[in-house]
Structures are given as C-alpha cells and as structure tokens.
Amino acid sequence: MQNSGHYSKVDSHNVFKRLSNATHKQPVRRWKPSDFELGKRLGKGKFGRVYCVREKKSGFICALKVMSKDEILLYKVEKQFVREIEIQASLRHPNCLRLYGWFYDDKNVYLILEYAAYGELYKMLKKRKRFDEVTTSYYIFQVAAALEYMHNKHIIHRDLKPENILVHFHNQIKLSDFGWSVYAPQNTRRNTMCGTLDYLPPEMVESKSHDETVDVWALGVLMYELLVGRPPFEDENSGVTYRRIVKVDLRIPTFISSEAADLIKKLLRYEPKKRISLHNLQRHPWIIKNRGLWDTLKD
Ligand code: AMP
C-alpha cells in the first residue's frame, strides 16, 4: 500500500499549518512533549503509538497519540487526518472520545486524547468470546447515543466496529477513530466506499450513494458480533460476504432472545429508510427489558 512518497517539506508545512488554521480552536496553551510525563504504552495503531501520560502541572491523566508527520504524508492520508482532527475536536458527548488538543514539532504530530482505561472493545470481545445480553444492550445503547449526537450535528461516523470503540471505567463506551467520518449537511448523499468489509451496508456494496443510516446498519452488525462473537455476514471469501450483505442473509442463533433478534432485524434492513431510528432503538423492548440491570455494570 506504500505510495511513491513524492512530497516536499513545503507541502508538509502547509498541511499541518491547515490543522492549526482550519479549526479556529487552537488550544490557548501551546503544548510541548516535555509538558507530559510518559507512562505505559497503551497500543500501536497504523499511524502511531499511544501512551498513557500525566500532564505535569495539573496531574491530569490522558492519552497521547504520537504520529510521525513523514508517515502521514508518505501514505497520503494527510487530508483524512486533518478532517479527523477537525471532527473529533468539535465533539462533546460522554460517549465520544474527547480530543483535548494537539501540537506538533519537526517530526511528529501529537494528539491529547481522553484516556479510556480498558482499551479496545475488540480486545475485550476476543477475550470473552461474546457478551451477555445485559452487557451488550448497555454498550449498544451508549453507541446509539453517541451516533444520534453525531447525526444531529450532520456527522456520519462510517467506520463503526469493535476496534474503534474504547471502554472506560464503569463500562462507559467511548466512540473513537473518526478517520472516515464526514460532515454531510442535510439532504446530501455521499458516494465514497469506506469502512470495513464486514460492516459495509448493502448500498455501499452496490456502489449507491449513502447517508447517516450506514451507521445504523453498522450498529446492527456490531450488536450481532457482540452477542454471537463474529459478524453476521462473515466468510473467508470476500465475494461471498458481499453477496450475503446484499441479500441480507441473516442467520440468528437460537440462543439469542426474541427481543434481541427483533432489534437486529430492524437495524439490518436492506432499505436504508426502513432501518429503525436511533431514537426508537433507545426505547426498543430489548433495551427496556435490560436497562434495569445495567447498574451492576456501572460499579
Ligand atoms: P490507534 O492508533 O488509535 O488505533 O490506537 C492504538 C491502540 O492504542 C488502540 O488499539 C488502543 O488499544 C490504544 N488506545 C488508543 N487510544 C486510546 C485511549 N484514548 N485510551 C486508551 N487506549 C487507547
């Protein structure tokens, strides 16, 4: 996937300059790496390393994502990267990972992020194989709240999956990774095919335009994967996965309750407009049935 890497230092300067001009939200304070005491490494992503850090003056614990400017430019993802920062910096919701600020030096760009103590939901799922319905309903409810907030601001996430969901104390969900997110003002439809194969909705597989209901479909895939341990249309052969998505070839195991099965079917509708709204999802009988038991998960 490596690009030829034709870029100049001048381009590089302009791209990162846009970052500071575009958002009009330059942190009042100019941060530098030495403002932070480095803790353990939390993980490594495609474009950088993430550390748990303590801001020296305040003692505030947060996550610091360090990304090499050269790598961002080499892979030609600078526009996506800047858009991701602009979008994430504008979000204020308990279930969306906060981006507190950013800064850069000659080599790296640094993102100051909210810290999520339990890390990726994906890793928790791999360890547990699958989640029970009470836990899943609590997670799905919170992701739906985050998406509803974003959609009200006309932002579509477009890459929902367990790898992009972090978990904090008390099982609080933090939606992260806004690299594919897009600002889509009302009545505009998008054409870019994006996201992850297993989570793609039929309209993207069929190269039709899409709107915010792609996130509702992905939420259905997520709910299925959390309850069953694998996504609903998975196959070794990606062609088969595509066909199963378009046919909505859904096989729900018998251990799934009838209320959960009903909600999965209402999320995974071929017709985008027929998918249940995020508002109604939060009042669905499966949520109502389980929400009385969520207190045990908040301890
Ligand atoms: P990323 O580059 O964003 O994919 O992050 C790489 C890994 O670092 C993730 O898989 C997480 O395990 C961890 N990580 C990223 N951001 C945070 C955060 N804010 N809090 C805790 N862990 C994080």
According to DSSP, the β-strands at 108-113 and 61-68 are: antiparallel
Q: How far is the CA of 187 from the centre of ligand 1 (A)?
A: 34
Q: Summarize pLDDT for 220-252 with one digit per residue, the tens.
A: 999 999 999 999 999 999 999 999 999 999 999
Q: How far is the CA of 265 from the centre of ligand 1 (A)?
A: 31
Share of the chain above pLDDT 70, in %: 87
- Closest atom, ligand 1, to C-alpha of 116: 20
Q: Which of 41, 46, 47, 50 to probe ligand 1 with, by most ligand atoms within 8 A of CB? A: 50
Lining ligand 1 with CB less than 6 A are 42-45, 48, 50, 63, 97, 113-116, 119-120, 166, 177
Binding site, annotated residues for ATP: 46, 65, 114-116, 163-164, 177
Least confident range of 4-8, 59-63, 81-85, 172-176: 4-8
- Answer whether residue 105 shows pLDDT above 80: yes
294: tokens are: 């969520």
Per-residue DSSP letters for 153-198?
TTEE----SGGGEEEEGGGEEEE---TT-EE--TT--B----S-GG
Q: How far is the CA of 119 from the centre of ligand 1 (A)?
A: 6
> Tell me, what's the pLDDT at 174?
98
Share of the chain above pLDDT 90, in %: 73
Spatial contact of 215 and 158, defined as CB atoms under 8 Å apart? yes
End-to-end distance of the chain based on CA atoms, in angstroms? Answer: 44
Q: How confident is the model at residue 191 (pLDDT cuts 50, 70, 90)?
A: low
Q: State the fold for domain 119-297.
A: Transferase(Phosphotransferase); domain 1 (1.10.510)
Whether the model clears a pTM of 0.95, i.e. scores above it, the answer is no
56: tokens are: 């020296």
Q: Which of 166, 167, 172 to probe ligand 1 with, by most ligand atoms within 8 A of CB? A: 166
CA dist 201 and 193 (Å) reads 10
- Answer whether residue 219 shows pLDDT above 90: yes
Q: What is the mean pLDDT of residues 264-280?
A: 98
Residues marked as catalytic: 159
Q: For the chain, how are helix, strand and coil distributed in percent, rounded to 5? A: 45, 20, 40
- Answer whether residue 34 shows pLDDT above 70: yes
- How many angstroms separate the Cα of 54 from the Cα of each of 2, 87, 190? 35, 25, 40
Residue 50, phi then psi, degrees to nearest 5: -120, 130
> Tell me, what's the pLDDT at 72?
87
Spatial contact of 168 and 139, defined as CB atoms under 8 Å apart? no
Binding site, annotated residues: 46, 65, 114-116, 163-164, 177
Q: Whose CA is nearest to atom 9 of ligand 1?
A: 43
Q: How many beta carbons lie within 10 A of that of residue 25, not counting itself?
A: 14
- Closest atom, ligand 1, to C-alpha of 120: 12
CA dist 213 and 43 (Å) reads 31
Instruction: Locate the domains of the chain by residue range.
Output: 9-113, 119-297
Q: How confident is the model at residue 9 (pLDDT cuts 50, 70, 90)?
A: very low
**Helix-helix angle 213-228:258-267, to 10 degrees:** 150
Q: Summarize pLDDT for 47-61 with one digit per residue, the tens.
A: 889 999 999 999 999
Burial of 245 by CB count in 10 Å (0-12 exposed, 13-18 middle, 19+ buried)?
A: buried
Question: CATH number of the domain at 9-113, please?
Answer: 3.30.200.20
Q: How far is the CA of 116 from the centre of ligand 1 (A)?
A: 8
- Chain centroid to Cα 21, Å, comes to 25
